[in-house]
Chain A
Amino acid sequence: MAGWPHDEEQNALTPAEQQLHRHLLADGAAWRRRAEPTLPSPGAFVSRAQQRLDRERAQSSAVSPTDAMVTPDALNHHDTHTLTEYTEHSRVGLPANRPVETQRADSPKGLYRMSSTQTIPPPATPHPARRRFAGGLAGAVALVIVALLAATLAYALHTRQNTSAATTHHTAKATPTVAPTALPTQPPAPTSVRTPYNQPGGFEIAPSDPQIVYLTTYANYSNPQSGVILRSNDGGRTFTQLPTPPTILGSGTQFTVAVSPLDANHVFAMVTNSPLVIGTNCPPGTASENRADGATGYSQLTELSAPSCLQSFYSLDGGQSWSVLNLPYGGGLGNAESSSQVDIGTIQAQGSRLYALGGLGFNSRYTNNIIQHLLTSADGGASWQVADAKLPGSICDFATTPTGSTLYAVVYPGFASFNGNCGGNMSGLVLSLWRSDNAGVSWGKMYTFSDLTKTAEYGMRVAENGTLYIDWPESPPTGNPATVNELIVSQDDGHSFTRLPLKGLSAHYNNLYLAGTLSDGSVLIADQVNPINFGQGQGEFYAWRPGDTSLRKVSRLFPNPAVAVVVIPHDAKDTIYLVQYNGVISHFTISA
């Protein structure tokens, strides 16, 4: 880790840059001096890492073929493969161009096979480790092909137009004119607004009125005071600071916000703060170390070195006044995503009801013992009740159908983790999909993701036509340690799944994220391009409709990653609002 500036490094710099270089060297050294004492000793770290490896290895070994849902019948069938088997052959653990087996708890045989009409072709995606090279080569070849096709098409069009014009000139009354063939066009340019805030803490566009935007700033080294919440009523052009929720967590707090899909004035705020004092607890009124306190709405995120506290608030008047949010299990409203902050996850609506995850009751860096619940509110978010009373574990993600009272939940039969992965405590347990048709009163198990022991909580959605989409993280890497997300889809209420095709993607695609659903039942997919290869983290959008054999690109390339996406459906069109990482809000409309 040593090594200070090479001569050639400094020689390439201007005097002013050299001065900045020295400042950075000094600041980096000072930062390390303060950081390193808080890190575990190398010996302790290696010891714990090895224990975790041993544990995972032992637990993986304990997964029997039965656990992976392979029956003797299935093994004897040449066309039958388990998700586990396919891990070697496909990047998402789902069979490519093969039937998928599913298991239902209420099935005596335990296995269902998907019909052949539901198979999808294997993706023509190179191995991730070779993707950069192959992508570049494929891109070059594709460029040449596209150029040739374009020239041919232009020539054909030109010829046809001339022929048509000539024909029309001579036989105008007898022969109708031929409409010129439309050349493929680039998706329309989006309309963009540059907000006054570059890289704020969080953005929320109100789905019920996209002119209303909430954003949070957060405490950091350049802003050691508390973060603030701001609101825009003009699509992000101007912002007004809202009153701060009356937290007792003191200065240095940071906020995340979420807005109700039903009402732009119903907004929720999560306040977190870490006193950063070893051995201290959260302020009076909070829970003891391992217990959430539902009465006060506080919870403690326990870390041995730096306890963090959180508090949730709601406002029904657009953030002008705030009330403490008391939840059934205490804790807060949102997803547990890291050891140092909590994110208010997606709030989904069904009729007049709201659904969200919450209840970060128990939490410890070393035990990962968070239980995450599905909660519902019938009064705009002022009070919440449990909607997952009979589900066996933590809720990693959920989705509501647009109408009716059907809910889906991905359940991990243990504690959720907070490192960005639900089920990330490596206990070897697997995720399963559950469904309720009565708003969470009772649930039935639909599917077991036999090889998926954790999910990155990227989301799931049900489209207007009932199609269920789930963002699917690549489970154990097969060579390239980088994770790549793709999507899986169910068109039979969660009984079986197929993976979305990758055809149509840019050669440089990286990760696919579920960004929403469109009014025609399509799924909207965001691809953040090339962050693996240290690109600029650009993004573009694709759509896929059941039955399509390829994805269709629906947006231009955005120069920065999207940090928030909202789909506003109207008639047969959908308007996509997105916030880019640099604080630019853009929208564009696509036709179904």
Chain B
Amino acid sequence: MREADHNPSPDEDTRYASFVALLPQHGEAMLRVASALVGPADAEDAAQEAIVRAWQAWSSLRDPAAERAWLLRITVNVCRDWRRGRLGTHQRLTTSLDDFSEEGAAGNIATSGDDPGASDHANALDLRWAVNTLGDDLRMIVLLRYYAGMDTTAVGAALDLPPATVRTRLKRALGMLRERLAGPEERSEGLASDSPHERQQSEGRR
């Protein structure tokens, strides 16, 4: 029988106490990762789900020193399931960056001291559009690196990847983003863009 089907034993109480003691240390990080991956609106639910799953799998953690990476990996997996939605009908529409569409439209998009162009609202909108067009693996890395604010070592730990692999993929993602953010006339392929900003620009030129 599963452990959970019995009344908790003193041993289990001890294990539970040790697990709960981790939450103040790592809960915030889990919440912020979830926020970047599924959006602030669903972040708490997703992070809570990750905590529940982590407790259910707590006995399988062999290396206590790896608990943070382990918890973040669970969070990432929960968020991936969260986003995956159901097959056969619709893909879930919720995406992390979408949740701030209205606020983004309110004009408080990122600014960069290095490049005044980054403060341009439309550019920032297109940047996030481009991020969302990446495949799941690259998009995940970009979101964790830039929107969760993790360094490549932490991203690698959360994704069970070497940091060098994270950097390689990050570089590939940047290359793809650059290509997608290039103007229509610079595109080597003739695929239609569904970036509204680009369409508006094109229509404006016409």
What residues of chain A have their CB less than 8 Å away from a CB belonging to chain B? Answer: 1-6, 8-9, 12-13, 16-17, 19-32, 34-36, 38-40, 42-43, 45-46, 48-50, 52-53, 56-57, 60-61, 63, 65, 68, 84-85, 87-88, 129, 194, 196-204, 217-225, 252, 254, 256, 258, 276, 303, 305-306, 335, 337-341, 343-346, 365, 419-420, 426, 456-459, 476-483, 513-516, 526, 528, 531-532, 534-537, 560-565, 581
Contact residues in B for A204 (Cβ distance below 8 Å): 90
Chain B residues within 8 Å of chain A by Cβ, number: 115
Given contacts A9-B152, A481-B54, contact A537 B95 (CB under 8 A): no
Interface string of B106-147 (1 = CB under 8 A from A): 001111101100100001111111011101110010100111
Cβ contact within 8 Å between B111 and A30? yes
Cβ contact within 8 Å between A514 and B27? no
Cβ contact within 8 Å between B98 and A196? no
Contact residues in A for B149 (Cβ distance below 8 Å): 1-3, 28-29, 32
Cβ contact within 8 Å between B101 and A252? yes
Between-chain CB contacts (< 8 Å), 18 pairs: A27-B147, A32-B32, A32-B148, A39-B44, A49-B48, A53-B55, A65-B5, A220-B101, A221-B101, A222-B129, A420-B82, A420-B86, A426-B52, A477-B57, A481-B53, A483-B77, A483-B81, A536-B136
B100 to chain A, nearest CB (A): 6
Contact residues in A for B103 (Cβ distance below 8 Å): 34, 276
Cβ contact within 8 Å between B48 and A1? no
Find the B residue at minimum CB distance from A29: B110
Cβ contact within 8 Å between B192 and A221? no
Find the B residue at minimum CB distance from A303: B41
Q: Told that A46-B24, A339-B45 touch, could you supply 7 new A-B pairs with CB distance under 8 A?
A: A13-B171, A48-B48, A129-B60, A419-B49, A481-B50, A534-B161, A563-B87
Cβ contact within 8 Å between B135 and A201? no
A12 to chain B, nearest CB (A): 6
A342 to chain B, nearest CB (A): 9
Contact residues in B for A458 (Cβ distance below 8 Å): 86-88
Asked if B91 lies at the interface with its beta carbon under 8 angstroms from chain A, I say yes
Cβ contact within 8 Å between B126 and A45? no
Asked if B2 lies at the interface with its beta carbon under 8 angstroms from chain A, I say yes
Helix, strand, loop or mixed for chain B's interface? helix
Contact residues in B for A537 (Cβ distance below 8 Å): 135-137
Cβ contact within 8 Å between A197 and B102? no
Contact residues in B for A22 (Cβ distance below 8 Å): 112, 114-115, 118
Cβ contact within 8 Å between A13 and B56? no
Q: How far is the CA of A49 from the CA of B36 in the complex (A)?
A: 19
Cβ contact within 8 Å between A31 and B97? yes
Cβ contact within 8 Å between B23 and A35? no
Given contacts A221-B129, A222-B129, A306-B41, contact A9 B170 (CB under 8 A): yes
Cβ contact within 8 Å between A27 and B178? no
A8 to chain B, nearest CB (A): 7
Given contacts A196-B194, A222-B197, contact A535 B137 (CB under 8 A): yes
Given contacts A3-B154, A306-B41, contact A46 B132 (CB under 8 A): no
- Can you list the 7 inter-chain pairs with the closest CB atoms, starting with the nearest? A3-B151, A30-B110, A28-B146, A27-B110, A222-B129, A26-B112, A60-B4
Cβ contact within 8 Å between A564 and B101? no
Cβ contact within 8 Å between A17 and B174? yes
Cβ contact within 8 Å between A224 and B112? no
Cβ contact within 8 Å between B110 and A23? yes
Would you list which residues of chain B between 38 and 90 have a CB under 8 Å from chain A?
Answer: 39-57, 60, 73-74, 77-78, 80-82, 84-90
Cβ contact within 8 Å between A224 and B102? yes
Cβ contact within 8 Å between B133 and A514? no
B188 to chain A, nearest CB (A): 16
Given contacts A196-B194, A222-B129, A339-B45, contact A565 B170 (CB under 8 A): no
Cβ contact within 8 Å between B88 and A514? yes
Find the A residue at minimum CB distance from B95: A220
Cβ contact within 8 Å between B100 and A27? no
Q: How far is the CA of A12 from the CA of B74 in the complex (A)?
A: 30
B141 to chain A, nearest CB (A): 8
Cβ contact within 8 Å between B5 and A4? no
A33 to chain B, nearest CB (A): 8
Find the A residue at minimum CB distance from B75: A481
Contact residues in B for A220 (Cβ distance below 8 Å): 95, 97-98, 101, 128-129, 132
What residues of chain B have their CB less than 8 Å away from a CB belonging to chain A? Answer: 1-2, 4-8, 16, 20, 23-24, 27-29, 31-32, 35-36, 39-57, 60, 73-74, 77-78, 80-82, 84-95, 97-105, 108-112, 114-115, 118, 123-129, 131-133, 135-137, 140, 142, 145-154, 159, 161, 167, 170-171, 174-175, 177-178, 181, 191-192, 194-197
Find the A residue at minimum CB distance from B54: A481
Find the B residue at minimum CB distance from A43: B24
Cβ contact within 8 Å between B60 and A39? no
B200 to chain A, nearest CB (A): 10
Cβ contact within 8 Å between A45 and B27? yes
Cβ contact within 8 Å between B108 and A30? yes
A530 to chain B, nearest CB (A): 9
A125 to chain B, nearest CB (A): 17
B20 to chain A, nearest CB (A): 6
Q: How far is the CA of A476 from the CA of B55 in the complex (A)?
A: 10
Cβ contact within 8 Å between B4 and A57? yes
Contact residues in B for A49 (Cβ distance below 8 Å): 23, 27, 47-48, 51
Contact residues in A for B142 (Cβ distance below 8 Å): 24
Cβ contact within 8 Å between A536 and B137? yes
Cβ contact within 8 Å between B88 and A224? no
Q: How far is the CA of A426 from the CA of B129 in the complex (A)?
A: 36
Contact residues in B for A456 (Cβ distance below 8 Å): 81, 86
Cβ contact within 8 Å between B192 and A196? yes
Q: How far is the CA of A340 from the CA of B43 in the complex (A)?
A: 11
Contact residues in A for B82 (Cβ distance below 8 Å): 338, 419-420
Cβ contact within 8 Å between B112 and A23? yes
Cβ contact within 8 Å between A515 and B87? yes
Partner of A35, one of B7, B35, B74, B171: B35
Find the A residue at minimum CB distance from B34: A39
B47 to chain A, nearest CB (A): 7
Cβ contact within 8 Å between A19 and B115? yes
Contact residues in B for A196 (Cβ distance below 8 Å): 192, 194
Cβ contact within 8 Å between A516 and B140? no
Given contacts A53-B52, A343-B85, A420-B85, contact A256 B90 (CB under 8 A): yes
Q: How far is the CA of A76 from the CA of B20 in the complex (A)?
A: 38
Contact residues in A for B131 (Cβ distance below 8 Å): 24
Cβ contact within 8 Å between A221 and B128? yes
Partner of B86, one of A2, A337, A479: A337
Q: How far is the CA of A225 from the CA of B42 in the complex (A)?
A: 22
Cβ contact within 8 Å between A16 and B85? no
B85 to chain A, nearest CB (A): 7
Contact residues in B for A477 (Cβ distance below 8 Å): 53, 56-57
Contact residues in A for B80 (Cβ distance below 8 Å): 531-532
Contact residues in A for B77 (Cβ distance below 8 Å): 481-483, 532
Q: How far is the CA of A19 from the CA of B175 in the complex (A)?
A: 11
Cβ contact within 8 Å between A52 and B86? no
Find the B residue at minimum CB distance from A16: B178
Q: How far is the CA of A535 from the CA of B42 in the complex (A)?
A: 25
